[in-house]
Amino acid sequence: MTKRYYFLIRYIPAHADFELLAGRCIYQMHLFMVNNRQAMNKIGVSFPEWNEASVGQSIAFVADDKELMGGLSFQPYFSLMVNEGLFELTGVCEVPDTAVEVRFVRNQTIGKSFLGSKKRRIKRSLVRAETLGIEKALPTTEEERFIDHFHRIPISSESSGHDYVLFTQKEFADEPPSADFNSYGLATNHEKRGTVPDLRF
């Protein structure tokens, strides 16, 4: 099996907004991947202290390229936060063979369940109907969804400048490790099904 490597960031303030800090760390990793094409979709995100209440007080980045992990760990934002006494950063470590595989999934379907998203979809539908000359009618919905536990991770888009939310869920994976992530280091419901070690210590 290919060796994998990780480094871990622990947020030092105990009462910080862990989801906000996770979003900022993921954003830095996203920028790193955009600027290092060989890293694209090969770095995964793991949340060692994920629980019902929050994503936890730490985040880890995982890849099978040790040098890549070293490069990511030296990003200026991480160094600044360490110097300010807000983050602790481990060195790059080898993933233990005994680690259980998990998947942190960006589930965009969750966002569609919220009122703001429904209003936007109705508005688009009415504009489309008017453009096509179809009689305006409110779209019917039969959305009775049960959604498993998730956390909201706020993030900004470099290209659009908009803020949005990564609705993220944790699931256990019973297949061999796979490095196939989206540009935020997460799996998706269908195409990207990468797994990461559950780094609970």
The CATH number of residue 94's host domain is: 3.30.70.2540
Q: With respect to residue 177, please indicate whether it lies within any of the assigned structural domains.
A: yes
Residues of the chain with pLDDT under 70: 1, 112-130, 133, 135-147, 158-160, 201
Q: What are residue 18's phi and psi, to 5 degrees?
A: -65, -35
Report if residue 149 sits inside a domain. Answer: no
Which domain does 97 fall in, by range? Answer: 5-107+172-197
Structure tokens at 164: 């949005």
* pLDDT value, residue 115: 45
Gap between the Cα atoms of 20 and 25, Å rounded = 9
What pLDDT is stored for residue 176 in this prediction? 86
Rounded to the nearest 10 degrees, what angle do helices 18-35 and 66-73 cross at? 120
CB 195 within 8 A of CB 4: no
- Of 73, 55, 46, give the one whose Cα is nearest residue 181: 46
Q: Is residue 152 part of a domain?
A: no
What is the per-residue pLDDT for 138? Answer: 53
Sign, Cα dihedral of 35, 37, 39, 43: positive
Contact 155, 39 (CB under 8 A): no
What is the pLDDT, as a whole number, of residue 114?
47
In which residue are the tokens 């595989």 written?
A: 101
Task: Give the total number of structural domains in the chain.
Answer: 1
Q: Classify residue 163: in a domain, yes or no.
A: no
Residue 113's pLDDT is 55
As to burial, measured by CB atoms within 10 angstroms (0-12 exposed, 13-18 middle, 19+ buried), residue 180 is middle
Phi-psi region of 26 (alpha: psi -120 to 50; beta: other; left: phi over 0): alpha
Asked if the structure places residue 43 within a domain, the reply is yes
DSSP E strands in the chain: the ranges are 5-11, 44-46, 58-63, 87-89, 93-94, 101-106, 151-156, 163-172, 187-188, 196-197
Let me know if residue 26 belongs to a domain: yes
The residue ranges of DSSP E strands in 69-177, in sequence order, are 87-89, 93-94, 101-106, 151-156, 163-172
Q: What is the pLDDT of residues 85-106, one digit of tens each?
A: 999 999 999 999 899 999 999 9
